[in-house]
Structure 1
Amino acid sequence: MKAIVITNYGKSEQLKEQEVPLPTIKNNQVLVELHATAVNPIDWKLREGYLKEKFDFDFPIILGWDAAGIVKQVGEEVTQFQVGDRVFARPATTANGTYAEYTAVDEKRLAKLPSSITFDEAAGVPLAGLTAWQCLVDFAKIKQGDNVLIHAGSGGVGSFAIQIAKYFGAYVATTASEKNEALVKELGADHLINYQAENFEEILSDYDIVVDTMGGDIQLKSFQILKEGGKLVSIAEPPDEDIARENGIVAGFLWLEENGKQLAEIAELLEEGKIKPTIGHTFPLTEEGLQKAHQLSETHHAKGKIIIKIK
């Protein structure tokens, strides 16, 4: 099958097309014929070698960990899915990712895809949608009436976090550029802080939850706007435990856990129109397409999700 692989760590030029064997599924897995996948920051961070201590893979490595497609084969122990099902997933982080025509996915990481959702739309959901869900629901225990700040609301995780927070009845502030004001307002944001002209820490106070997608100084300043007992959850870097303790704040770093049941809950919200993926850019499954997609993701200024169209 066709795949885009890396055979060494390095720049986006490492992404090369290669013929690789069709995945062999285990008893608890399904083989998915991929119609679309997506590019996420983990992809180029792993490509650069930043994550090699956490994921010590042998080359060649197929990057990509968003899957949307059709079940082509099921393992002997699989009970919830059958050949022909439309599905999507955040597969396990292995060296056999989704920049390919087929991928193997554990049943527990898979969810059925509503017929009203396209494969391109679905590919933009699993990694970013599950990350936002786990930040707000699992870590922060979001509830109606909470005041929530979401950094980078026009990005992949941020765009889902805004919608999920509004679904739970929260008041949502978000940081974004002025050019993305219409987008974040459409997603449901109540208050836009134009980070190019305003300092959020001078405007907001007594917030219940901060979703930090940036780290660094932005994370440090985020402590200032939280009330005592507030929660700061970061997907960028572990927060300073001493600062959290001094301010009476619950703070932590979240690394996504693949979860088919949660993805099925998100699928229901997609079908009901309560949340929707924001597709900002689409590229083909080619060397040039993936290289351009990675270069765009590395700017940190991609609008919504970067989709890779396979079929």
Structure 2
Amino acid sequence: MKALVLSRYGKINNIRFADIPRPVPKPDEVIVQVHAAGLNPIDTMIPKGVFKPIISLPLPCTLGSDLAGVVVEVGVRVTRFKPGDAVFASTFDIGMGALAEFAAVPDDVVAFKPSNLSFIEAASIPMVGLTSWQALKVRANLQPGQRVFIPAGSGGIGTFAIQLAKHLGATVGTTTSTGNVDLVRSLGADEIVDYTKQAFEDVLKNYDVVLGTIRGDAIEKSVRILRPGGKIISLVGPPDRVFAQARGMNFLMRFVFGLLSRKIIRLGRIHGAEYSFLFVQPDGEQLGEISNLLAGGRVRPVIAKTFAFEKANEALAHLETGRAKGKVVVEIASNV
């Protein structure tokens, strides 16, 4: 079968198409014929080796972490799915890539595709949906009437997280450029800061939760807008000691991550706020809950652009520009 494979870390020309064996299911896996694969910013960073200290991938490996398709084979212990089922899943951090004609996926990270979504729409959801769910609903325990700041509202995470936060009853603040104000407002954003004209830390105040989605000094600035007792949940780092412990890292890595996060943790404490780093985990049960929201029209996918499978490298390059409004998706047509 055809797959987009990373052979070595470092350069873009180390990403190429290759013919690799079609996977055979383990007892608790399903084989999915992939119809579409959603791209995420981490898919452009992994090939550079940015996440080598955190994610151990045996090279060569298939890239991609979000998929939607049809089950064609199941392992002997799988009872929830059968051939012919339309499904979607995140394969992030489990050593299995989505940019291939077929993928072997553990059944506990798979959910049924919402019937009202196309495969392209469904493939855009898993990572951003699970990240938003785990950050806002699980870790932040966001409650009706609370205020949450979700910067970069027109991006992949932002477009979903705004909708989920509104579903949970929160007031949402966000940042975007002038041309995307109407988009984020249509998703439910209440306070919109045009970052080309204003600094969010000069406009927003008394927020309960900040979802860190932008690298640089944005997270440190966001401390200023939090009320005492607020929470910063960062998706972009710095990783902290608690994260290193949860992944079973050695003492050295725990020490290093403790150093990296020391400044933001100290700033948070000064303002009475709590900092934590979130690394999304695939979860079929949570994805099923998200599927119900999608099926009920309470949240909707936002697609920036769709690329053919043979243009997957171009899709990654487009994503890396940072100008995508919503998600970039690769449509995959199998030869089998």
TM tier, smaller: over 0.9
Letter in 2 for 1:294: L
- The alignment status of 1:263 with 2:264, answered yes or no, reads no
Q: Distance in 2 between matches of 1:223 and 1:237?
A: 15
1:222 aligned partner: 222
1:155-198 alpha-carbon deviations (Å, 9 max, x no partner): 11111110000001111110111111111011111121011111
Matched, 1:167 2:167: yes
- The gaps in structure 1 that reach 5 residues or longer are none
Equivalent residue, structure 2, for 1:57:
57
- Which amino acid is the alignment partner of residue 16 of structure 2? K
Give SS of 2:307's match: strand
Name the amino acid aligned to 2:276.
Answer: G
Q: CA deviation at 1:54?
A: 2.0
Answer yes or no: is the 8 Å Cα contact 2:66–2:92 preserved in 1: no
Count of residues paired in the alignment: 309
What is the rounded CA distance, in whole Å, between the counterparts of 1:131 and 1:14 in structure 2? 28
The residue aligned with 1:299 is 321
Residue 7 of structure 1 corresponds to 7
1:158-197 to structure 2, matched below 5 A, reads 158-197=158-197
Amino acid aligned to 1:259: D
Q: Which runs of 5+ in 2 are unaligned?
A: 239-260
Which residue matches 2:243? none
Q: d(CA) in 2 for partners of 1:217 and 1:50? A: 19
Matches within 5 A, 1:193-212: 193-212=193-212
Residue 217 of structure 2 aligns to a residue in which SS?
helix
User: Could you say which residue in structure 1 is the equivalent of 2:330?
Assistant: 308
Question: Normalized against structure 2, the TM-score is what?
Answer: 0.89
Quick one: distance in 1 between partners of 2:151 and 2:54?
A: 26
1:226-245 paired onto structure 2 within 5 Å: 226-238=226-238, 240-245=264-269
Alpha-carbon separation, structure 2, partners of 1:93 and 1:56: 9
Could you tell me which amino acid in structure 2 is paired with residue 163 of structure 1?
Q
State the secondary structure of the residue aligned to 1:46: helix
Contact 1:92 1:105 in 2 (8 A): no
Deviations, residues 273-301 of structure 1 (Å, cap 9, x unaligned): 00011000111111xx1221111222222
Write the distance in 2 (CA, Å) between the matches of 1:282 and 1:127.
17
The letter of the residue matching 1:113 is K
RMSD across aligned positions (CA)? 1.2
How far apart are the structure 1 equivalents of 2:211 and 2:77?
A: 38
What percent of counterpart residues are identical? 41
Q: Counterparts of 1:104 and 1:84 in 2: how far apart (Å)?
A: 15
Task: Please report the TM-score for the alignment, with normalisation by the length of structure 1.
Answer: 0.96
1:243 Cα offset (Å): 1.2
Structure 2 distance, partners of 1:210, 1:293, is 29
Query: What secondary structure does 1:294 align onto?
Result: helix
Q: Report the AA paired with residue 327 of structure 2.
A: K
Q: Give the secondary structure class of the aligned counterpart of 1:25.
A: coil
Shift of residue 52, structure 1, vs aligned partner: 1.7
Aligned amino acid, residue 312 of structure 2: L
CA distance in structure 2 between the aligned counterparts of 1:14 and 1:284, rounded to whole angstroms: 20
- Cross-structure match for 1:110: 110
| Greater Cα shift, 150-159 or 45-54 | 45-54
Deviation at 1:17, TM superposition (A): 1.2
Is the 1:162–1:172 Cα contact (8 Å) retained in structure 2?
yes
- 1:145 and 1:5 map into 2 onto residues whose CA distance is 46
Cα displacement (A) at 1:92: 4.5
Give the ranges of 4+ consecutive aligned residues of structure 1 lying more than 4 Å apart after TM superposition: none
